[in-house]
Amino acid sequence: MSAAPSARARGRSARSRDASALVSLPQRPIGPEALRRRLQQAGREDWDFSKGRIFGSMCSQPHPAAVQASRRFTTANLGNPGLCPGTARLEEEVVSMLLDLFHGPAFGAGGHVLSGGTEANITALWMARNATQREEVVLPESAHFSFLKALDLLRLTPRWVRLDELGRARVEDFRRWVGHRTAAVVAVAGTTELGAVDPIPEIGRIAEEARVPLHVDAAFGGFVLPFLEGKGPPPAFDLEVPGVTSLAVDPHKMGMAPVPAGVLLLRHREASSSIAVASPYLSSPEASGLLGTRASSSVAATYAALTSLGVQGYRRGIARVLDLTRRLVEGGEALGLRTAVPPTMNLVVFHHENPVAVQTWMLERGWDVSSVRSPSGLRFVVMPHATPLTVSKLLLNLRSALTRFPPGGAGSVAR
């Protein structure tokens, strides 16, 4: 279900344990110069998207207007919306623009700006469980690990749907599992590991017939699929499909907003009431969301990204990353690699029997790539910070890595 833990992650957790053993709260203020030096040092240790060497992350260098907007709204807290009516209005406009983009109905729909895909997925299942009072979730094996958290927190039982050879959820398994115990059905538009898009119209029909909520996780694909050009209309995946009741989409992935920014769209605005609690001492009588205090600078940042780019800007950005993805695929194939599935978006997995060895080798040379376990492969997310030059350099390094760890083994997506 998830990308294998990276060598970098293992190194980082060891380092942070060492550091925390030495540090205590200073007795006296350290002063602005010492603070500046310390923060500068920490910042230098972090990976920098602008260098274009990160191919294992779904985040990128945000749009400059979004960064600026985020700084302007550092104190906004939509957990207490009466104190920031201007930010609340921006949230309504963000939700409205995205409902329009994702074919929401003209009346009665709603949504929330959240911290990301994890919060959106947990919230969607929370609403579905409370509304149906049932205990099972039917979801594909490709679902992001945030659903494991949701299942655990909400004490829901998974009914796993197998994948076909292209990494898409098998419709017949939904037919098998969806029934009177089902609290929610989940489908994915742009899976984390392969970028696959589930057959959402067919899944929607099953959910609609059974009258159960269908949540679509488009955290990654949401800002890609509507802007694809040249290959005919993109597959229907959003609120255009009648059975879809909620949709998660992440501005902080392909939406060019800074972290954290996720959005949960709801076909029926009142779905939120199933998770509402009284919040008597705040400016609104009820709160319906996982968080209390909300870092609402993400609302302004998302608004800025959406309006600064517009449909044209997103289309241009997607065309650019898809062109780089094509170069990566051609370059990889010239090195003897084979894609696990034909890429539909800016994400490529090449079969490899020992991807962690290649990943570690690349990491030691300053390249962030990731690995997946099923099928065993090397995974590259070609985000907007990539350039033709960095893709060429990546391929050169990959060539060296593959002379030590040559590819082999076909593997299979279907589990």
Ligand X SMILES: Cc1ncc(COP(=O)(O)O)c(C=O)c1O
Q: Which residues bind ligand X (CB under 6 A)?
A: 58, 116-118, 121, 144, 146, 188, 190, 192, 217, 219-220, 250, 262
Residue 193 belongs to what H/E stretch? none
Residue 142 C-beta: closest distance to ligand X, Å: 9
Q: How far is CA 162 from the centre of its chain?
A: 21
Integer Cα distance of 143 and 124 in angstroms: 14
Q: Cβ neighbours of residue 68 under 8 Å, at least 6 residues apart?
A: 304
Indicate the residue among 1 and 401 with the shorter CB distance to ligand X: 1
Integer Cα distance of 212 and 58 in angstroms: 30
Indicate the residue among 137 and 401 with the shorter CB distance to ligand X: 137
Residue 287 C-beta: closest distance to ligand X, Å: 21
Integer Cα distance of 313 and 316 in angstroms: 5
Residue 102 C-beta: closest distance to ligand X, Å: 15
Residue ranges of E strands in 239-369? 244-249, 262-266, 277-278, 286-287, 347-351
Q: Cβ neighbours of residue 42 under 8 Å, at least 6 residues apart?
A: none
Q: Which amino acid is at 300?
A: A
Query: Is the distance from CB of 251 to CB of 305 less than 8 angstroms?
Result: yes
Indicate the residue among 379 and 405 with the shorter CB distance to ligand X: 379
Query: Is the distance from CB of 286 to CB of 274 less than 8 angstroms?
Result: no
Residue 136 belongs to what H/E stretch? strand 136-140
Residue 253 C-beta: closest distance to ligand X, Å: 7
Indicate the residue among 147 and 177 with the shorter CB distance to ligand X: 147
Residue 251 C-beta: closest distance to ligand X, Å: 10
Long-range contacts of 337-343 (CB under 8 A, 24+ apart): 337/378, 337/402, 337/407, 338/407, 338/410, 340/167, 340/194, 340/375, 340/377, 340/411, 340/413, 341/165, 341/166, 341/167, 341/194, 341/196, 341/413, 342/166, 343/195
Residue 240 C-beta: closest distance to ligand X, Å: 19
216 closest CA partner among 174, 251, 250, 187: 187
Q: Cβ neighbours of residue 93 under 8 Å, at least 6 residues apart?
A: 303
Indicate the residue among 184 and 188 with the shorter CB distance to ligand X: 188
Indicate the residue among 147 and 405 with the shorter CB distance to ligand X: 147
Residue 194 C-beta: closest distance to ligand X, Å: 11
DSSP string, 260-295: S-EEEEESSGGGGGGG-EE-TTSSSSEE-SS-SS-B
Integer Cα distance of 174 and 169 in angstroms: 9
Indicate the residue among 226 and 262 with the shorter CB distance to ligand X: 262
370 closest CA partner among 59, 140, 27: 59
Residue 413 C-beta: closest distance to ligand X, Å: 16
247 closest CA partner among 270, 268, 273: 268
3-state DSSP assignment of residue 349: strand
Indicate the residue among 141 and 401 with the shorter CB distance to ligand X: 141
Indicate the residue among 219 and 306 with the shorter CB distance to ligand X: 219
Residue 211 C-beta: closest distance to ligand X, Å: 25
Indicate the residue among 124 and 391 with the shorter CB distance to ligand X: 124
Give the angle subtended at the CA of 213 by the CAs of 207 and 216, to the nearest 5°: 90
Indicate the residue among 81 and 140 with the shorter CB distance to ligand X: 140
Residue 189 C-beta: closest distance to ligand X, Å: 8
Residue 188 C-beta: closest distance to ligand X, Å: 6
